[in-house]
Amino acid sequence: MTDTGHDYLGAGCVTDVARMVMALASEVWIMRDRQIVTEYLLETKGSITRDDIDNFVPPPALAEALTAERDRFAGLVAGAPIAGVQRSVADILERAGLQVPATLRTGG
Amino acid sequence: MTFLTRLDDNSLAAGAIPSFSLSQRGRSGLELLGSIQKFSSGKLRPIAARNFEKDSEGHALAQDHAAASPGLSTRERIEKAKAVCLKDNVYRLERFFQRYVAEENFNRGIPAIEERRALFEAFDAQLGDEDALGSLELADGIDIPKYYSQIEWHLEPGGWDGYDLYGALFAFGVGPMVFRHGGYAAVGIGDDITQQRLKTVAQFPKSEYRKIYEPGCGGVSTLKAVHTLFPDAELHGSDLSPLLLRNGRKMASRQGFAVHLRQADAARDTGEADASYDGVITYALHHELPPKANRALLAEMFRIMKPGADIVISDPPPFRAVDLFHAVILDWDTEHREEPFFSAILHDSIDDMLAEAGFEAIESYGLGQGQYPWITRARKPMEAAR
């Protein structure tokens, strides 16, 4: 194994690192949500202001699409450790937010 | 606190919720917590449960837990089961996310509400105290018990009264964006605590009640459910928190029903007359009281109830009523979600406490997945002395 220098954090800091990862993931999602909202407003209104984005309440159809995208995002981030072992084609398709063909469903 | 889990609930009266939204940042940050909690409890926890059952020691402990005469005490069994769980990285990950979401409900929820302070204050001012229905009696110099004042319940900074906009945070932020998905503490994945309250109230055995009392009524979420099923009942409640009581009375008024609230330590003295109530309900209260206070509270309820009156209690299920893995999950809250008395009540028996207080016709049962809500109900004997 290559020596990469002093182990500054140590194994006991893994929870702290996980908190940092989750904080970063949250910022990524907040930006992703903002991007979806911005695209929606541009498509439906043409011209928008920052306040339009900040005060926007997603209508039901968009809220549903946001929920699906957010759940997929949360699953990818929070489920990353189990993605290393749950590697069936159905698992991989499900994580990607795609329909799993009936022939691949295990029922479990 | 007042919990709303759906802002699109058609049963809410017009004007009961604000017409403005959280900022895009505030909304999306909280919504992500809901998705993480959903994934954690819905996907990771079942894997951890299967891993526990597959472990030979875990399996043997689970068998012992289910046995009519277990070899180990409940405490010993849970401690050993916890050690088995901690060998599993998926269990650790799931617990980390539970803790993380519980912390972040406030770390990001408070700023999300604060940046809308002016709007929430204006919304609150739309209904003046003089226009509110029912009554509110705050006590001067009430003796707050130590166990209550020193705890930041559920990791809530400063405790129930620690932030003046906690009412808005729970009703319009954490409630509909995180809690609506269930999957925390004893609440099953996908379960809605608003619906669970209605199911609990439906356990009152009679079809009509004139006066119903709720100790620890908080922001009157349970009294709202009582009003839904018993619209003619006069509703009374008490709590230690003035903020919760103020929020509760306003929330009830906005939704068009009256509540009569009093700041009181119901485990000492409610200030209510002997034999004056036809029904008593408690919801998610007993696991927040030390055992001695629980017994004192039930004795006080017995005193204020009329002979023949009913009491309906909902709290997390006792350890004896759930499988061992679920017992470990429930026990975890005691140390990790600022719930110091959680395990104590789950080891104890509310049935026995009710019997000690003099109640009869005591029965207990679970209503939903994971045996939650766990109902205990009883009656004050007709021949009881007033």
Q: What residue has token string 């109830």? A: B305
* pLDDT band, very low/low/confident/very high, at A108 (cuts 50, 70, 90): very low
**Is A53 inside a domain boundary?**
yes
How many distinct structural domains can be found in chain A? 1
CA distance A63 to chain B (A): 11
Name chain B contacts of A81, Cβ cutoff 8 Å.
89-90, 93
Q: Provide the b/e sequence for B220-247 (b: ≥16 CB within 10 Å).
A: bbbbbbbbbbbeebbbbbbbbbbbbbbb
Which residues of A are less than 8 Å from B44 in CB distance?
78-79, 82
- The predicted pLDDT at position A92 comes to 86
**Percent of chain B residues past pLDDT 90, beyond the cut:** 84
The string of pLDDT tens digits covering residues A36-93 is: 999 999 999 999 999 999 999 999 999 999 999 999 999 999 999 988 888 888 888 8
Asked if residue A2 is part of any domain, the answer here is no
The pLDDT value given to residue B133: 94
Name the residue among A19, A34, A74 with its Cβ closest to that of B24.
Answer: A34
Mean pLDDT of B209-221: 95
Domain membership flag for residue A5: no
Burial class of residue A81, CB neighbours in 10 A (0-12, 13-18, 19+): middle
- pLDDT digits over B48-91, tens only? 999 999 999 999 999 999 999 999 999 999 999 999 999 999 99
B31 at A interface, C-beta within 8 A: yes
User: Looking at the domain assignment, is residue A6 inside a domain?
Assistant: no
Q: With 90 as the cut, is the pLDDT of residue A2 above it? A: no
CB–CB contact B38 A33 (8 Å): no
Q: How far is CA A21 from CA A27, A89, B97, B101, B172, in A?
A: 10, 27, 12, 14, 27
- Beta-carbon pairs below 8 A across chains A and B: 73
Per-residue model confidence (pLDDT) at position B186 = 92
Q: Mark residue B198 as left, alpha or beta (left: phi above 0; alpha: psi -120 to 50; beta: remaining).
A: alpha
Per-residue model confidence as pLDDT tens digits over A10-36 = 888 999 999 999 999 999 999 999 999
**Could you give the CA distance from residue B272 to residue B261 in angstroms, rounded to a whole number?**
11
pTM of the predicted protein model: 0.92
Q: Contact A99/A93 with Cβ under 8 angstroms?
A: yes
Residue type, B354: L
At residue B281, does pLDDT exceed 70?
yes
Return the structure tokens found at B235: 């509703």
Q: Is residue A3 part of a domain?
A: no
- For the segment B285-319, what is each residue's pLDDT rounded down to a tens digit? 999 999 999 999 999 999 999 999 999 999 999 99
- Provide the pLDDT for residue B201: 98
What sign for the dihedral angle of Cα B345, B349, B350, B356? negative
Answer yes or no: is A73 within a domain.
yes
* Per-residue model confidence as pLDDT tens digits over B341-369: 999 999 999 999 999 999 999 999 999 99
- CB B90: neighbour CB atoms within 10 A? 21
Interface pTM, i.e. ipTM: 0.87
- Rg (alpha carbons) of chain A, rounded to whole number: 19
Architecture of domain B24-379: 3-Layer(aba) Sandwich (3.40)
pLDDT at B6 over 80: no
| pLDDT given at position B371 | 94
What is the overall mean pLDDT for chain B? 93
Is residue A4 in a domain? no
Residue B168 CA to residue B123 CA, distance in Å, equals 10
Domain boundaries, chain B: 24-379
- How high is the pLDDT of residue B283? 97
Q: Picking from B15-19, B181-185, B329-333, which range would have the lowest pLDDT averaged per residue?
A: B15-19
